[in-house]
Structure 1
Amino acid sequence: MTSWEIYKGSGTPHDDLDRLPDPPGWREFQDVGKYQAQKGTTFKARPEQIQLVNAALYLRRPLLITGRPGTGKTSLAYAVAHELKLGEVLYWPITTRTTLKQGLYSYDAIGRLQDSQVQPSESAKTNQNKTAAEELEAIGKYIRLGPLGTALLPVLPDRLKRPRILLIDEIDKSDIDLPNDLLHTFEEGRYRIDELERIKEVLSTVEVSTSYAQTTETAEIINGQVQCNAFPFVILTSNGERDFPPPFLRRCIRLEMEEPDPKELADIVSRHLTALDSEVLTKAQPIIDAFVEKRSSEELATDQLLNAIYLLLQEGIPAADVENNNLLDKILKPLSGPGA
């Protein structure tokens, strides 16, 4: 039997990399549409999750999902978008440096200045005859709406009940002020673009780019202001690493995401890996059992289980290599604590 090992540590060049199989579905770097559809179709919601998603839809309130890593918080957003035909999920990852303005829009002032300095002389002569509005019209090239700013754009009348969808990922990683900064935006559903509001007397309508990755959709901003007419379906995820202020929590529907039980883990494995091996559940049951046992005392994520089972299914890898040579323990390494 051919060994599963591609890299052998021999120091001798070879072509065994050609034997590398296709990546697992959750590690395929494909276009945004296929990626989001894959995540949306492999997630199965629990009854409580279904109820609170519907509550958020009815009330037009953000859904704040808290849970440990790997419990499917982000996947729920893609599942809702896929089932309800809401289109591309606008994705806003949060870090300690993220500000509200970054989520709304960005203005490339340096790029605009550089472009103005490299104009050919003939073009410069032509610009002398332009009106003030014509000179300002190019400003739209340097403004890009962020994920939050794009989500708040008005929708066409026939889409009033099919809003845009926004995923704000790991809001608990944010600066302490960001949740409070979001309050007005969530309540009013509007914001201003200062650079456009200042020139509205000369140029009232400006076309800008959006954060959609699947399309080159642009938006017309009138008088420098954006007012949504259908509040977007907003999902915020949190790993529970911090508390949020009561005014912020009051504006959200809150969902605590529980870890999948053994039966649900088997279903997740089946949804992701049955196409690779129709007998995956029979082969993977010992690893599922080991994962559940380790998870009772250590922090583990479901994708670690999928990684371990994917390796088990590879041609040429004996089960003993996974279980007895500590490869399983290395893949299922705790996410926190000593040695993490």
Structure 2
Amino acid sequence: MTNWKIYDPQSPPASQKVTLPPAPPWRQPGRDRENVLARTFKPDPALVDAVNTALYLRRPLLLTGRPGTGKSALAHSVAHQLGIGPVIEWAVNSRSTLQEGLYQYDALARLQYIQQANARSGAGAQAEEAEELGMFLTLGPLGTALASAHAPRALLVDEIDKSDVDLPNDLLNVLDTGHFVIPELKRAAERRPTVRISARDDEYIEVQRGEITFKEYPFVVMTSNGERDFPAPFLRRCVQCQIREPDEKELQGIVAAHFASLPLGEDVFAIISEFVKLRSTVMLATDQLLNAVHLLVSSDRPQSEAERKRILGTVFQGLGG
């Protein structure tokens, strides 16, 4: 039997660099991963209704559910289906601010630039300050989604429940008002009314007099693992949807979508059944099931029964909660 282990301390060290086997499709980097997420996501009817409601009403969609239920993948699925991708992603944490989402200003780099320009050109460099200001400004994920010339865009605000208490309402206030101001450009508007600044996806935006006004609302998906309760005024301004865990039949469809060339034989059904049984006692995520199928069934390196049990024990680790 071929040894399935890539790393085996009992074997002699490799005489040359080892070539790793292909990664799971959902673990490919960059756009390939996004395409897999979009193509394989299987929403239930309630989620489809919630997405369409949010699209019609131009309201953010607030998704709650356990980790691994596909909350983030939904944004990629909708963007792919509507042709408004790629998704702009904003991974929120406790230090995230509204300004970070709208734009970033590198004041230190600009100060160094001015000092160097003054040393080269003397007082004449002062005229360059407004002209070169755009070099040190970059639109953040929210700012790009609002200002993009390719609007509407899809914006994924991931784990909004980890944010500072004021950020969710601040974010919705910007969406409601239809514009935002970049003070650094506003102050320089008399000297330089139009400034070109960079955004996500290598896009450049021309900002008029320091203000950005948008006419198309982005499709906003905000995800939450349910770690905190949101106030009623915030919830009122969102379309809410709770993503439930897929049942055994739905899991079979998810596995089939990810492994299109793999027949769903008894070995796959057995892994799915064991996953569902274990999930009733500990928290597990669907991608853990996919990992197990990839390792045990789609791999071209067979394992012994004892190895299969150890692999399942390694992959099916409870997530707490």
Q: Which residue in 1 is equivalent to 2:289?
A: 305
Is the aligned partner of 1:40 residue 2:38? Answer: yes
**Residues 319 and 280 of structure 1: CA distance in aligned 2, closer, same or farther (over 3 Å):** farther
Which residue identity is paired with 2:302?
A: I
**Residues 112 and 254 of structure 1: CA distance in aligned 2, closer, same or farther (over 3 Å):** same
Q: Which residue in 2 is equivalent to 1:118?
A: 116
* CA–CA separation in structure 1 for the residues paired with 2:126 and 2:112: 21
Q: Deviations over 1:308-328 (max 9, x none)?
A: 11110222332514443x321
Cα deviation, residue 182, structure 1: 1.8
Q: Which residue in 2 is equivalent to 1:87?
A: 85
* CA–CA separation in structure 1 for the residues paired with 2:99 and 2:107: 15
Cα deviation, residue 267, structure 1: 1.1
Is the aligned partner of 1:273 residue 2:259? Answer: yes
Cα deviation, residue 27, structure 1: 1.0
Q: Which residue in 2 is equivalent to 1:4?
A: 4
Q: 2:183 aligns with which of 190, 194, 208?
A: 194
Q: Which residue in 2 is equivalent to 1:333?
A: 317
Q: Which residue in 1 is equivalent to 2:213?
A: 227
Which segments of structure 1 move beyond 4 Å, counting only runs of 4 or more?
A: none
Cα deviation, residue 71, structure 1: 0.6
Task: Output the TM-score relative to the length of structure 2.
Answer: 0.93
Is the aligned partner of 1:146 residue 2:140? Answer: yes
Q: Which residue in 2 is equivalent to 1:67?
A: 65
Please give the secondary structure, in 2, of the residue aligned with 1:65: strand
**Residues 53 and 196 of structure 1: CA distance in aligned 2, closer, same or farther (over 3 Å):** same
* CA–CA separation in structure 1 for the residues paired with 2:55 and 2:305: 49
* CA–CA separation in structure 1 for the residues paired with 2:28 and 2:260: 16
CA contact under 8 A between 1:4 and 1:316: conserved in structure 2? yes
Please give the secondary structure, in 1, of the residue aligned with 2:23: coil
Please give the secondary structure, in 2, of the residue aligned with 1:83: helix
CA contact under 8 A between 1:312 and 1:319: conserved in structure 2? no
* CA–CA separation in structure 1 for the residues paired with 2:96 and 2:43: 30
Which residue identity is paired with 2:285?
A: A
* CA–CA separation in structure 1 for the residues paired with 2:130 and 2:147: 22
Which residue identity is paired with 1:40?
A: A
Q: 1:291 aligns with which of 257, 264, 275?
A: 275
CA contact under 8 A between 1:154 and 1:227: conserved in structure 2? no
* CA–CA separation in structure 2 for the residues paired with 1:10 and 1:154: 55
Which residue identity is paired with 2:108?
A: I
**Residues 273 and 240 of structure 1: CA distance in aligned 2, closer, same or farther (over 3 Å):** same
Cα deviation, residue 281, structure 1: 4.3
* Aligned-residue CA RMSD (Å): 2.0
* CA–CA separation in structure 2 for the residues paired with 1:114 and 1:59: 46
Q: Deviations over 1:115-168 (max 9, x none)?
A: 2233495x425x72x673x4411110100000001111164xxx7xx6111000
**Residues 267 and 281 of structure 1: CA distance in aligned 2, closer, same or farther (over 3 Å):** farther
CA contact under 8 A between 1:270 and 1:281: conserved in structure 2? no
Show the 5 A alignment for 1:158-169: 163-169=152-158
Please give the secondary structure, in 1, of the residue aligned with 2:250: helix
* CA–CA separation in structure 2 for the residues paired with 1:256 and 1:273: 27
Q: Which residue in 2 is equivalent to 1:173?
A: 162
Q: Which residue in 2 is equivalent to 1:217?
A: 203
CA contact under 8 A between 2:131 and 2:195: conserved in structure 1? yes
CA contact under 8 A between 1:43 and 1:72: conserved in structure 2? yes
Cα deviation, residue 58, structure 1: 0.4
CA contact under 8 A between 2:148 and 2:205: conserved in structure 1? no
Please give the secondary structure, in 2, of the residue aligned with 1:18: coil
CA contact under 8 A between 1:6 and 1:17: conserved in structure 2? no
CA contact under 8 A between 2:3 and 2:303: conserved in structure 1? no
Show the 5 A alignment for 1:244-263: 244-263=230-249
What residue ranges of structure 1 are gaps of 5+ in the alignment?
Answer: none
Aligned-pair identity in percent equals 46
Q: Which residue in 2 is equivalent to 1:238?
A: 224
* CA–CA separation in structure 2 for the residues paired with 1:254 and 1:135: 46
Q: Deviations over 1:28-47 (max 9, x none)?
A: 11x43x33222101112211
Cα deviation, residue 17, structure 1: 6.4
Please give the secondary structure, in 1, of the residue aligned with 2:14: coil
Task: Output the TM-score relative to the length of structure 1.
Answer: 0.88
**Residues 321 and 310 of structure 1: CA distance in aligned 2, closer, same or farther (over 3 Å):** farther
Cα deviation, residue 190, structure 1: 1.4
Is the aligned partner of 1:77 residue 2:75? Answer: yes
